[in-house]
Amino acid sequence: MLNFKSNVILAPLAGFTDCAFRRLCSDLGAGLTVTEMVSAKGLHYNNENTETLLKTAGESPCSVQLFGNDPDIMAEATTNEKLQKFDVIDINMGCPVPKIVKNGEGSALLNDIKLAEKIISKCVSVSKKPISVKFRIGFNQNQDICVDFARMCENAGASFITIHGRTKEDYYSGNARFDSIFKSAEQVKIPVFANGDIKTIDDYNYIMNNSNVYGVAVGRGALGNPSIFSQILGAPIIPKDKLILKHYEYLKENFNEHYIFTNFRKHLVYYIDGTKNARSTRNAIFTAQTIEQAIDFALNALK
């Protein structure tokens, strides 16, 4: 079983949780970080895009998140040599993105618990790494299969689970509903992480004081605020200007200029959210000619 560095982990976020951001969050106390979603079929066919997703930068412990709907290809992926540097293999059964769901992947598996069980058990049977599962409380608002799905994951051999308190149909709207997560945590013996709308230490305390979940998974709440991990853990808060520069340093160590220019601006917009001239600064960041210029706009907004 994995030894978590803390019970506050980083949830995977497509387009954001590259190795540079994961390392920053790990530095700040994240108990586990998780890659963006990696296609099991992409690994099977040696898709070039998976190489960037599988980059690591010394963050530890780190999990790789796989998605797919073919038990054999998913099991094969868990034994792929490119994944052996990771500490955990996480199976995504909660992604609500339409193109993923239409392919019968992600949260589509909430509608086929037998196939989901087959995928997990087959991965567990061949993997030398702990297998975890991330899923949502149901597919639509009239369906709450959270407890049954959690039990299935445990019976299939999952080492721990992360549950997002929304249905597939909710997407990211409305408020996360934690009651189902709390009930699930009472029904299984494996660690349960609650996910959704965790943005402050008060959110963390509410969850931990009202349930027996093992911990929380912070996703969008970490964007522009990776210090949420150190804040929850009682460590000193590092100013955002220093975080931006450290984040940029990690990016330069691992990615080319084009990647940094394309991706870091999205993060900068989150870093300056809530500042006095956030809207005009956001426009300036996205019209900047260089990433250094965009960073200067962000740093000036924080003064």
pTM above 0.85?
yes
Q: Among candidates 147, 92, 91, 157, which has minimal Cα distance to 121?
A: 157
Distance CA 255, CA 92 (A): 26
CATH T-level fold of 8-232: TIM Barrel (3.20.20)
Q: Could you give the percent of the chain with pLDDT greater than 90?
A: 93
Q: What is the pLDDT of residues 86-96, one digit of tens each?
A: 999 999 999 99
Read off the pLDDT of residues 41-59 as tens digits, 9 standing for 90 and up.
999 888 878 888 999 999 9
Non-local CB neighbours of 218 within 8 Å, separated by 6+ positions: 8, 9, 10, 11, 30, 195, 198, 199, 228, 229
pLDDT at res. 298: 98
Helix-, strand-, coil-residue percentages of the chain, each rounded to 5: 45, 15, 40
Catalytic position from the list 25, 62, 95, 153: 95
| Known catalytic residue at 95 | yes
Label residue 251 by pLDDT band (50, 70, 90).
very high
Q: Give span(s): CATH 3.20.20.70, the chain.
A: 8-232
pLDDT, one tens digit per residue, over 126-154 is 999 999 999 999 998 877 799 999 999 99
